Structure 1
Amino acid sequence: MTQVGEGQEAEESAPPVMTFGAPTAGEILAERYELVEHINNDSAGRLVWRGVDVVLRRPVAVVLRYPGGDSATEMLQAAVAASRVIHPNLVGVYDAIDEGERAYVVREWVDGRSLRELVADGPLDPARATAIGNAVASALASVHATGMVHGNVHPGTVMISDDGRVVLADARTDGEDSQENDVRAVGGILYFALTGHWPHAEAPLRGATAGHGRAAIVDAVRDASGSIAAPRQVRAGVPAYLDDLTMDLLDPEIASPSSDVLAAELGRLDIPAEDHFLDQTGTIRFSADPGDDPSPLAAAGGRKVAIGIAGLLAVALVGLLIGISAFGGDDSPDTQPVARPSTSGAPAGGTAPAPAPAVRNLTIQDVRIIDPDSSDRAEVRNAEKVIDGDEDEGWETASYRNHGKFGGLKKGMGIWIDLGAPRTVKSLQATLSSTGASAELRAGTADFPSSSSGDRQLVASYSTTIGRPFEEHDGTKMTFNGFDADQKYQYLLFWITELPEKDSGDGWKLGVQEIKVQGS
């Protein structure tokens, strides 16, 4: 895997960045990160090492810059910002340290290849290109939801692991980019994956110039006016819907969609090759035919992103179908098909109603204990046990000696849940260790640092309550099903307000054994 700081390698003939005091294999940084092997130097002159976190015993990538201090500010700020966004399609950032004479960022090690290296073997088939574009757009949607910009989307920062996972690496915070540019770059990713050519000659890869050795990428085919050839003109077999989508994203005259809308559209197109729905539906275009009558949308602002309206309608339709479905109780199976009307009475020549989406267990991407009223953070461990599928083992609070809100010491504690991306949610069910607890479910739109201060900000921000709270519940399962069918949710907070008394009578305590979220 080319674990590069900005997705690009330096020329093989490039001189070392530093000779005096350069790191060596076996050196341990910050008493934790052991350097194992120097991989390469990136185009920004940073040293990239494969390392090991000797505390957690996991592989890491270490990106070093000499010197540290002011010259490393942008790199460190970008790393800190990136560490706050957790998403399966983003490379995890673990640490960022400035030692003055040097600074370094420690991040997830990904075994695999960059998209640039992958396409060097030849353009990708349309289905795989769509899947990669979908993953990148989904990652950007999570970044943009926090108000940040990635600013560094190109074939060198899109990485494909050996197990097929697609991750986006190395965000920048230099203020030169915008969320719209991030979205336009997804069009470049699609174009590159389909053709092997990079369409942004006016915005070359950072550090990549003509003759930059392996960092150089072939420019797109252009006519005399400088316009690029469409993917279907470069190679055969590119579906019209994917060709249209790619060219719309690259056209500055067409308003770009938001990243979440783009992710939803690419998710719709990212279906198994044996399914042929796209042959009938095609893609949703970002602009109306110039010959069409002007619509109110066009009159209001010219060529608008029609995909946004279609996306909202699709969400409303999914919510309506889910809203009329029946959701089972505690003993219901993991996957519950929505009741489908009989098609036997369909009129002659008519079509049977389309099946509604199935309600299923949603994947919980991340969980964290929220403890805003404590500074020692002693109770925030073992959050992962609430999603491990084992109801015999879970997370539990400490024992409190007095009745009330955690012995009168805290207003509450909670479990923060990240679904990885906005989802249509039907219900959340929490399995508890005993009866008598009080709790409520809240929803929010952002993540915050894992600290007492960050937890206080999170609790204050999560003001939307889902359904009715449970007061001294007489059961061990709490099911919240008051979700708005017309909205999507990514971040939830199971907030515990009262603890039950222990059976032994010597204090108050609660365990959360398992949490399941269902939706579609």
Structure 2
Amino acid sequence: MTQVGDGPSAPLSVAAGEVLAERYRLERHIADDGAGRQVWRGVDEVLRRPVAIVMRQPGGESAEEMLNAAVAASRVNHGNLVGVYDAIDEGTRAFVVREWIDGAALRELVAEEGNFDAERTTAVLHGVAGAVAALHSSGMAHGNVHPGTVLIANDGRVVLTDARDDGNASLERDTRAIGACGYFMLTGHWPKEGGRAPSVLPDGRRDSAGALSAPRQVRAGVPTYLDDLVMDLLNPELSPPSAQVLAAELSRLDIADQQLFGAGPSTLRFVEENETAEPGRTPTPKLVAVGGVALALIITGMVLGVKALNANADPRNNAQPTAGSSTGSVNPRPVTLTAAQVRIVDPKGDRKETENAARVVDGDPDTAWKTNGYTRANFGGSKPGMGILVNLGEVRHVASVKVQLTLPGARAQLRVGDADPGDSMIGDGKINETYEAIGDVQITAKTTVFPADLKTQYVLIWFTELPLENANSANPYKIGVEEISVEVQ
């Protein structure tokens, strides 16, 4: 289920079956969070999909923080961030409509299954850090990272939800909270150094002087690299690295995700236990075990700790690693793209939609390259898709690709390839056949960030489904791309 925390039960003034904004039907009351908001499972009757609805009564000024945070989060699309679909203030009540996640909160999983091992902890931290890094890249702090807002979907996806905008959020607090999540997964305790968390979680273990005990002092089997990382992130005397640097380093160590479970960024691969589920309850999926020897072989010689990530850092900008850092990481930086470096890929079109590609790199969000209108979301069944090819000029280490669209609702992939076979129908067909997809998302916001950690010269943003732009049009499905930016390491 989608859950944002525990709290006192609020009196219900709405009931199952009620339709909000002539669109969102309430199905089941799930819980009330610590802020007194009601959490419901509902259905979007227009798109016929399940949604989570978080309601606050009354609306107006008392709901501004919730609504502002939802609107800000809706502008950032990332595979590890919950999709935010709508935010409505009706005066007497206000509510946020977001993606429904079938799964459980991190808090619930640790309570049911016990402490996580190092591999599973690293995989979850990788997903959370990636989500936080995407928010930070947009200029927004999450402000509410804790085991109740980190969800693990039944398909293994790590999802961060319920951002706050209460004036206390900061980039540094988010990064320290990631470390606290690691401490919680390893020990079952939430250290107060991690900031806000549900009051039901016990504080971290402490010695007689009140100092926080390291995870390996609480339980056996915690590897040194993970113990050091968690404790460094919680150490107020050390400036934490940026979330982008932290996510990049965790991606190197996410063995459970990248090395042993196949491709798929920040996704935990699960197998079902051979057991019969209790009536009305789905068996909790278990992470496939990873041998400690494999992990040790891969991280031999690697130093992972905030001191290493923060070598010679400028404390004013949250840790800028130097070229001499033992990890070799650098903060991502944007690439200046010209019109000559972008073109439209349309393998089965009439080439009429291949004009105006330069608008996606002109720095003006008021201009855009746009598709024609189509009768159905799949380009009317006339083609496998369309996309924008970016030639970086040489092989670069791509950290992320950011796409700003005219409206949300499209489905897109990030693809990479070795060459551009030519600006023609035949060349575009070869691109469609040979370029490898490394990310596939249903875009729920106008701004989408595709995380990446790979070396390539050619990047393709490939659209397979179009959003509905105008239901009254004979060809209502189309999309426009306002800006594309690429960050490299």
The normalised TM-score by structure 2 is: 0.64
1:189 counterpart residue number: 181
CA contact (8 A) 1:415 1:493 kept: yes
Structure 1: runs of 5 or more not aligned? 210-215, 289-294, 317-329, 331-369, 396-413, 418-422, 427-443, 453-466, 496-509, 512-516
* TM superposition shift of 1:93: 0.5
Identify the match of residue 131 of structure 1 among 120, 123, 130: 123
CA contact (8 A) 1:284 1:307 kept: no
* TM superposition shift of 1:381: 6.2
Which letter does structure 2 place at the counterpart of 1:116? R
* TM superposition shift of 1:62: 0.6
1:248 counterpart residue number: 232
* TM superposition shift of 1:287: 2.1
Which letter does structure 2 place at the counterpart of 1:227? A
Which letter does structure 1 place at the counterpart of 2:215? P
Q: 1:249 to 1:493 in 2, by over 3 A?
A: same
CA contact (8 A) 1:198 1:220 kept: yes
Identify the match of residue 84 of structure 2 among 85, 93, 109: 93
1:16 counterpart residue number: 10
Which letter does structure 1 place at the counterpart of 2:208? A
Which letter does structure 1 place at the counterpart of 2:20? L
Q: 1:15 to 1:313 in 2, by over 3 A?
A: closer
1:266 counterpart residue number: 250
Instruction: Note the 1:298-447 alignment, pairs <5 A.
Output: 309=323, 310=325, 313=328, 379=372, 385=378, 392-394=383-385, 424=397, 446-447=402-403
Distance 2:227 2:327 in 1: 24
Deviations 1:66-91 (A, max 9, x none): 11111111111111111111111011
* TM superposition shift of 1:379: 3.9
* TM superposition shift of 1:281: 2.2
Q: 1:415 to 1:27 in 2, by over 3 A?
A: farther
Q: 1:372 to 1:306 in 2, by over 3 A?
A: closer
Q: 1:492 to 1:374 in 2, by over 3 A?
A: closer
Instruction: Note the 1:14-93 alignment, pairs <5 A.
Output: 14-18=8-12, 22-93=13-84
Distance 1:255 1:125 in 2: 27
* TM superposition shift of 1:248: 1.0
Which letter does structure 1 place at the counterpart of 2:53? V
Structure 2: runs of 5 or more not aligned? 261-289, 332-344, 346-363, 391-395, 409-417, 436-452, 464-477, 480-485
1:283 to 2:323 alignment: no
Which letter does structure 2 place at the counterpart of 1:123? N
State the superposition RMSD in angstroms: 4.5
SS in 1 for 2:203: coil
* TM superposition shift of 1:173: 1.7
CA contact (8 A) 2:67 2:96 kept: yes
Q: 1:201 to 1:474 in 2, by over 3 A?
A: closer
* TM superposition shift of 1:252: 1.4
Identify the match of residue 477 of structure 1 among 415, 420, 427: 427
Count residues with an aligned counterpart: 363
Q: 1:228 to 1:476 in 2, by over 3 A?
A: same
**What percent identity do the matched residue pairs reach?**
47
1:212 counterpart residue number: none
* TM superposition shift of 1:297: 3.3
Which letter does structure 2 place at the counterpart of 1:313? G
* TM superposition shift of 1:174: 2.0
Identify the match of residue 175 of structure 1 among 147, 159, 167: 167
SS in 2 for 1:175: coil
Distance 2:329 2:367 in 1: 41
Distance 1:374 1:270 in 2: 37
CA contact (8 A) 1:424 1:487 kept: yes
Q: 1:374 to 1:234 in 2, by over 3 A?
A: closer
Q: 1:425 to 1:266 in 2, by over 3 A?
A: closer
SS in 2 for 1:476: helix
SS in 1 for 2:328: helix
Which letter does structure 2 place at the counterpart of 1:191? Y
Identify the match of residue 117 of structure 1 among 105, 108, 113: 108
Q: 1:394 to 1:282 in 2, by over 3 A?
A: closer
Q: 1:380 to 1:71 in 2, by over 3 A?
A: farther
Q: 1:114 to 1:493 in 2, by over 3 A?
A: closer
2:204 counterpart residue number: 220
Which letter does structure 2 place at the counterpart of 1:287? K
CA contact (8 A) 1:17 1:45 kept: no
Deviations 1:255-296 (A, max 9, x none): 2111111011111111143423245224323227xxxxxx99
CA contact (8 A) 2:143 2:168 kept: yes
SS in 1 for 2:312: helix
Deviations 1:334-376 (A, max 9, x none): xxxxxxxxxxxxxxxxxxxxxxxxxxxxxxxxxxxx996699x
Distance 1:137 1:176 in 2: 19
* TM superposition shift of 1:234: 0.3
1:450 counterpart residue number: 406
Deviations 1:450-481 (A, max 9, x none): 359xxxxxxxxxxxxxx99999x454325699
CA contact (8 A) 1:84 1:447 kept: no
Instruction: Note the 1:502-517 alignment, pairs <5 A.
Output: none
Q: 1:381 to 1:374 in 2, by over 3 A?
A: farther
Distance 1:59 1:33 in 2: 9
1:153 counterpart residue number: 145
Distance 2:458 2:100 in 1: 26
SS in 2 for 1:477: helix
Q: 1:241 to 1:391 in 2, by over 3 A?
A: farther
Deviations 1:128-154 (A, max 9, x none): 011000000011111111111111100
